[in-house]
């Protein structure tokens, strides 16, 4: 049991190590990062008996394949996909024992975007500023997986009760994002605000861990120019000059100069992480901004 | 001072100048250290300070607008010295904007005491202020796809040092070997909001 590690056989389109990220450093220009679908990440950690802060793998669309050097328990959640061990189908969304040297293959998603692979003991790469997450905006944390990458694993803890099955929400066929308007909704025309909260957008292929980009009607500004740079939050809906809203996800920049028309409720962001390109998106205003 | 709710857990406090923003930031740090505010992030920027991870943004907003923000206290720590070779590819353009010779750009820049107004763009990248408005320069019309790490650059009222190679549209006036960001170092960032900075010329342009 001394050689606890995963060897990457197939990296997939983009597979990264993620945990709950590194909040608290935004004033130094450090993005929060962390698993995009935090609910799915927390769940697969529970399924393998890990604490919620354990690092795991986040795949993108076509999964990955890894070979553990010692026997481990794994669980795959988030976007549904076929899972095999040495070619034999095993359960998705449940703990699975993978013997030392066996090939664990996480296949292409049947819906959604990102699958999460929890491994007993967690991925134990060296943390950077308290987190093992890969931050694709600023390059902090481990590089995205490549074939041949060896990922050390931590020692499984027996303190955490394991669950055997758990319900997981299906990836959205229509993404409804509840928003609170502001802080810069006054930079847009009343017509643009109506458009934003009534028309349907679609998830753009250009979406990534930094932001969910959309295609749809452009939002017209009532004020020209750029804002002086200001701090940005997770879920901020920034409107660049092309007028198409961008929802900031975990690797978002800490400051920005385009106006933020609204902020998405944090509870809705896991679904945003699983909305495939082309998925319809609607923004619904929860309440008008209250001045204070 | 104007306070703007940002979602349900954050507050953007807007003031009218960079100096006010720096004073507000210092005051918010003081209140957090004194246990008066519980907040995950305090992010200063050009004219604002963002407080993220608040339990009750509305209550904090009313407390802030009802209170005075003291003037920025002078930092007691020594300034960070950053040695610079003033030989950047945009030195001539900056000299033309300023209406001085290239050597004079170096002399004026190195005679300024800067402070970090805020950080952003990349880990460890500080937006340094301290020069009078007559030395503001525009960004380059065409950004560079790769600006080398250690480049000392100007844009608008700011000076910055690129912590690592990245695309960038600022005017490059020099370079330094000083390491701005090293995640294995404590602290990882050489510069953080409020740090005073002096650029020390080395060699001759």
CB contact under 8 A, B189 and A236: no
CB contact under 8 A, A230 and B188: no
Where does A175-285 sit in CATH, by number? 2.40.100.10
B41 and B104 share a domain? Answer: no
Whether residue A238 lies within 8 A of chain B, CB to CB, comes out as no
Residue A156: phi and psi, rounded to 5, are -60, 140
Q: How far apart are CA B202 and CA B205, in angstroms?
A: 9
B60 and B84 share a domain? Answer: no
Strand boundaries in B148-195, DSSP class E: 151-155, 158-161, 166-168, 171-175
Whether residue B188 lies within 8 A of chain A, CB to CB, comes out as yes
Q: How far apart are CA A91 and CA B161, in angstroms?
A: 51
Residue B189 with chain A: CB contacts under 8 Å: 28-29
Whether residue B16 lies within 8 A of chain A, CB to CB, comes out as no
CB contact under 8 A, A129 and B40: no
Question: For chain A, give me the number of helices (H) and strands (E)?
Answer: 3, 20
Please state the domain count of chain B: 2
Q: How far apart are CA A128 and CA A132, in angstroms?
A: 6
Please check whether residue B71 lies inside any domain of the structure: no
Per-residue pLDDT of chain A (292 residues; tens, 9 = 90+): 458 999 999 999 999 999 999 999 999 999 999 999 999 999 999 999 999 999 999 999 999 999 999 999 999 999 999 999 999 999 999 999 999 999 999 999 999 999 999 999 999 999 999 999 999 999 999 999 999 999 999 999 875 566 777 788 899 999 999 999 999 999 999 999 999 999 999 999 999 999 999 999 999 999 888 799 999 999 999 999 999 999 999 999 999 999 999 999 999 999 999 999 999 999 999 875 444 4
Residue A28 with chain B: CB contacts under 8 Å: 119, 123-124, 188-189, 192
Per-residue burial over A112-134, b = 16 or more CB atoms within 10 Å of its CB, e = otherwise = bbbbbbbbbbbbbbeebbebbbb
Q: Closest CB to B122: pick one of A23, A26, A138.
A: A138
Min CA distance, A229 vs chain B (Å)?
6
- The ranges assigned to domains in chain A are 5-152, 175-285
Please report the pLDDT score of residue A289 as a whole number.
Answer: 46
Residue A229 with chain B: CB contacts under 8 Å: 45-46, 118, 120, 127
**What pTM was computed for the model?**
0.94
Residue B8 with chain A: CB contacts under 8 Å: 180, 265
Please check whether residue B56 lies inside any domain of the structure: yes
* pLDDT tens digits, B58-79: 999 999 999 889 988 877 788 9
Domain that holds residue B16: 2-65
Please check whether residue B93 lies inside any domain of the structure: yes
User: Are the CB atoms for B49 and B43 separated by under 8 Å?
Assistant: yes
Which of B41, B65, B89 lies at the terminal end of a domain, its last residue?
B65
* DSSP structure string for A91-109: -SSS-EEE-TTPPEEE---
B51 and B88 share a domain? Answer: no
Q: Closest CB to A24: pick one of B41, B45, B123.
A: B41
Integer angstrom CA distances of residue A75 from A49, A70, A165: 10, 16, 10
B135 and B162 share a domain? Answer: yes
Whether residue B124 lies within 8 A of chain A, CB to CB, comes out as yes
What percent of chain A clears pLDDT 90, i.e. is strictly above it? 90
Please check whether residue B121 lies inside any domain of the structure: yes
3-state secondary structure at position B70:
coil
The CATH number of whichever domain residue B163 belongs to comes to: 2.40.100.10
Q: What is the largest CA-CA distance in chain A?
A: 64
Please report the pLDDT score of residue A160 as a whole number.
Answer: 59
Please report the pLDDT score of residue A1 as a whole number.
Answer: 45
Q: Closest CB to A292: pick one of B42, B50, B58.
A: B58
Please check whether residue B75 lies inside any domain of the structure: no
Please report the pLDDT score of residue A159 as a whole number.
Answer: 58
CB contact under 8 A, A228 and B47: yes
Whether residue A199 lies within 8 A of chain B, CB to CB, comes out as no
B125 and B41 share a domain? Answer: no
Q: How far apart are CA A89 and CA A82, in angstroms?
A: 7
3-state secondary structure at position B55:
coil
Q: How far apart are CA A18 and CA A116, in angstroms?
A: 9
Q: How far apart are CA B40 and CA B59, in angstroms?
A: 16
Whether residue B4 lies within 8 A of chain A, CB to CB, comes out as yes
Please report the pLDDT score of residue A292 as a whole number.
Answer: 41
Per-residue burial over A91-106, b = 16 or more CB atoms within 10 Å of its CB, e = otherwise = ebbbbbebeeebbbbb
Name the pairing type of β-strands A260-264 and B2-6: unpaired
Min CA distance, A204 vs chain B (Å)?
24
Whether residue B123 lies within 8 A of chain A, CB to CB, comes out as yes
ipTM: 0.93
Q: How far apart are CA A156 and CA A152, in angstroms?
A: 12
Per-residue burial over B97-119, b = 16 or more CB atoms within 10 Å of its CB, e = otherwise = bbeeebeebbebbbebebbbbbb
Please check whether residue B72 lies inside any domain of the structure: no
Please check whether residue B176 lies inside any domain of the structure: yes
What is the helix, strand, coil percentage profile of chain B, to 5?
20, 30, 45
Q: How far apart are CA B203 and CA A119, in angstroms?
A: 54
B153 and B120 share a domain? Answer: yes
Strand boundaries in A43-163, DSSP class E: 56-58, 64-68, 72-78, 83-85, 88-90, 96-98, 104-106, 115-119, 150-152
B51 and B22 share a domain? Answer: yes
User: Are the CB atoms for A74 and A98 separated by under 8 Å?
Assistant: yes
B25 and B95 share a domain? Answer: no
Nearest to A28 by CA among B159, B82, B163, B15: B163
The CATH number of whichever domain residue B17 belongs to comes to: 3.30.1360.40
Name the pairing type of β-strands A280-285 and A175-181: parallel
Residue A22 with chain B: CB contacts under 8 Å: none
Q: How far apart are CA B68 and CA A92, in angstroms?
A: 57
Whether residue A233 lies within 8 A of chain B, CB to CB, comes out as yes
* pLDDT tens digits, B94-140: 999 999 999 999 999 999 999 999 999 999 999 999 999 999 999 99
Min CA distance, A134 vs chain B (Å)?
13
Lateral strand order in the sheet of B41-44: B2-6, B10-14, B48-52, B41-44
Q: How many alpha carbons fall within 13 Å on the CB side of residue A35?
A: 30
Whether residue B29 lies within 8 A of chain A, CB to CB, comes out as no
Chain centre to alpha carbon of residue A187: 29
CB contact under 8 A, A230 and B119: no
Query: If contacts are CB pairs under 8 Å, which of residues 115-134 in chain A contact chain B?
Result: 128-129
Query: Residue ranges of the alpha helices (H) in chain B?
Result: 18-33, 57-65, 91-98, 102-110
Which of B38, B65, B92 lies at the terminal end of a domain, its last residue?
B65
Q: How far apart are CA B81 and CA B75, in angstroms?
A: 15
B98 and B190 share a domain? Answer: yes
User: Are the CB atoms for B194 and B80 separated by under 8 Å?
Assistant: no
CB contact under 8 A, A231 and B12: yes
């Amino acid at each position: 049991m001394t050689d606890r590690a995963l060897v990457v056989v197939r990296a997939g389109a983009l597979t990264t190590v993620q945990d709950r990220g590194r909040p608290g450093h935004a004033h130094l220009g450090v993005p929060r990062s962390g698993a995009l679908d935090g609910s799915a990440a927390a769940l697969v950690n529970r399924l393998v008996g890990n604490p919620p802060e354990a690092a795991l793998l986040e795949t993108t669309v076509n999964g990955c394949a890894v070979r553990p050097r010692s026997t481990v328990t794994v669980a795959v959640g988030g976007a549904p996909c076929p899972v095999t061990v040495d070619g034999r189908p095993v359960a998705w969304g449940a703990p699975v024992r993978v013997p030392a040297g066996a090939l664990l293959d996480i296949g292409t998603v049947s819906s959604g975007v990102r699958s999460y692979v929890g491994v007993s003991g967690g991925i134990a790469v060296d943390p950077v500023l308290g987190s093992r997450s890969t931050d694709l905006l600023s390059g902090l944390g481990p590089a995205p997986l490549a074939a041949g990458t060896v990922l050390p694993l931590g020692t499984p803890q027996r303190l955490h009760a394991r669950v055997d099955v758990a319900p997981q929400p299906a990836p959205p066929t229509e993404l409804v994002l509840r928003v609170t308007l502001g802080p810069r909704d006054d930079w847009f025309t009343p017509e643009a605000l109506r458009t934003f909260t009534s028309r349907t957008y679609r998830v753009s292929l250009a979406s990534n861990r930094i932001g969910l980009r959309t295609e749809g009607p452009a939002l017209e500004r009532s004020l020209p120019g750029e804002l002086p740079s200001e701090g940005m939050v997770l879920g901020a809906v920034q409107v660049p000059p092309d007028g198409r809203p961008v929802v900031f996800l975990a690797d978002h920049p800490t400051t920005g100069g385009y106006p933020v028309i609204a902020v998405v409720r944090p509870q809705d962001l896991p679904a945003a992480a699983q909305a495939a390109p082309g998925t319809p998106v609607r923004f619904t205003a929860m309440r008008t901004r209250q001045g204070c | 001072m104007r306070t703007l709710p940002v979602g349900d857990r954050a507050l953007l406090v807007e003031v009218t100048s960079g100096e006010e923003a720096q004073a507000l930031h210092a005051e918010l740090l003081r209140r957090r250290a004194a246990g008066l505010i519980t907040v995950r992030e305090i992010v200063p920027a050009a004219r604002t300070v963002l407080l993220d991870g608040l339990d009750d943004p509305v209550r904090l907003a009313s407390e802030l607008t009802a209170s005075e923000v003291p003037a920025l206290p002078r930092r007691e720590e020594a300034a960070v010295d950053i040695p610079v070779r003033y030989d950047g590819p945009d030195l001539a353009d900056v000299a033309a904007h300023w209406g001085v010779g290239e050597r004079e750009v170096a002399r004026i820049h190195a005679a300024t005491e800067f402070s970090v107004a805020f950080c952003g763009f990349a880990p460890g990248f500080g937006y340094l202020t301290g020069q009078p408005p007559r030395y503001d320069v525009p960004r380059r019309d065409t950004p560079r796809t790769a600006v080398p790490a250690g480049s000392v650059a100007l844009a608008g009222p700011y000076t910055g040092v690129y912590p690592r190679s990245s695309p960038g549209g600022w005017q490059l006036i020099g370079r330094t070997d000083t390491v701005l960001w090293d995640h294995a170092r404590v602290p990882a960032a050489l510069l953080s909001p409020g740090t005073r900075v002096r650029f020390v010329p080395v060699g001759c342009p």
